[in-house]
Structure 1
Amino acid sequence: MEGAGMDGVRAGEFRRIYDPSESDRRWYINDHTVIRGADGRWHLFGITHPEPADPFDETEFAHATAEDLHGPWVRHPPVLRADLDRGETHLWAPFVVHDDGRYFMFYDGGGTDRTATGMGLAVSSDLFHWTRHPDGPVFRDGYDARDPMVLRVRGLWVMYYCATSTPAGGNHVVAYRTSPDLLNWSERRIAYADPATGTGAGNTESPFVFRHGGSWYLLIGPRPDYVGTEIFRSISPFHFDTSDRVGHIPAHAAEVITHDDALWITHAGWGQGGVALARLTFPD
């Protein structure tokens, strides 16, 4: 599968790198994260569940490792399971960053009030053993606030996530919060607001922000279909507009990974057979 983006942003051929299925049962990976450990080994974490899709029964995070980004990947036991005693109703969309010798995993733990979803936090020193942080959830937001993505910008940590313009619903947005320490987060601001409105599933899911060639890029989807990620470009990491659209890639829950002096984009989701990878290229 190859995708040509508008204005020259392109994805090469997607090649499957990991299938979590067992010999007698098909499994999927949906929203996921990939990080390289201190020893050079790659780790993949993600939503997982047997096919067919059942998002509110997604209660554990898959874990796999590989010596090379392109595989082969080795399946490991799940690293977290939903903790009902903490009010978690599901586990969605992990994202992992490293800081000061520890790994921080942010995720949507749900809750009975979908206008006040808990943004959970677990920590690890080795990427295999995870403990929920006592300060989690680090904040609550809605509607179904989820799909966190964290990076360092101008001396602060920035978390992007999808939500709606008000916790009870409205325009689908990419919200963001800032933090000096990954524990204390500001009030939310809006990085992107879409004309589409609703409550739950929307078209600003899986936000991913990165810098390339002096510009900032935002990935969101599904747009307009399940296997569809749109790319927006801006001079600021804190403001993107519908007019900034510069590409469309046939991928779901896409993340961008830097490896071997190249940018790679992932693709996963319900019924997609695991996780696939393609080279991402830009116009000269």
Structure 2
Amino acid sequence: MHSISRRGLLRGTAAGAAALALPGAAGTATTAAAEADPPHRWIGAGPFTHVHDPSLPGRRRYLNDHTLIKAYGRWHLFGIVGDSAPPGASPDSAAEVAFAHASAPGPYGPWTPHADALTVDRSYFGEEHLWAPHVVEAGGTFWMFYAAGGRGGAAINLATSSDLFTWTRVPSGPLFRGIAVAAMAPSGLAAFQRRQTVPSGGWDDWQHLFGWTTAAPTLAPGADGRLEAFALSPGGARLDHRWYLDTGGAWAAGEGFGEPGVPLAAPPTAAADVTGRLHLFAVTADGRIRTRVQERPSGAWRPWSAFGERLVAPLRAGSPAG
């Protein structure tokens, strides 16, 4: 998969927007809009004032996607920084790998440049490019939400700071990534999945997820953003488990996950607790509730155990639970 950068996303969005049209109504809509809309009136915002240049001696640089926050009596600026392109050319967005940082007593300066606030960490969930930082303060901590891209797609990442100079990425990984959906084959005996290439963007091709299942699989995101999937075979004799090897969407080969000799009445239900650990609940064919829980967020699973002794009326696979 090609590495995702800011400019690549913008080009894809523009192309998608340009392709939208109402069949058979384009000419009529344009004519009606022209007749109904009043003449355009330009509203000026006043002259531009140059306040800061992130260039270095012998190296012209541009600033983009910037954000401002006032703290400790000074204004702090963060934004994409990159090498300027020759006149008439566009900068290389694939080389946007750092956020510039500068501070000033007021918006008009004078601005004091500081060391870059954040640079790409390729070991951090496939991060290769950075853009669109946004900084807020809450509870004495500064929170930088920013977009990141790479060969695994685009994501919204988070870093925190206590002083606006030293930033630390949260260890749990991206807050948001492209999502995945699963669907049954026409025969009803297999499950397939496809995932978004970027958040709110296009979709990959359908890929085989589970074979020999007649019910939609159970999907649950782990604390680190990786999906876990569970599928029940016809008759409930076998429960299979697959999971993302990484946040880019590569699936593990899978393995049996159920209890030997304990058939299930319906696909399980998965939910996360406040610590981020996933819990799996299933009803056996004889009406008992069994559960498995992760040892730690996104970690290995403990053995099956009873969830109370009360018997419940087993549901047939595919029937509503409410």
TM-score (norm 1): 0.47
- Greater helix proportion: 2
Higher normalized contact order (CA 8 Å, seq sep 6+, divided by chain length): 1
Bigger-Rg structure (1/2): 2
TM-score (norm 2): 0.42
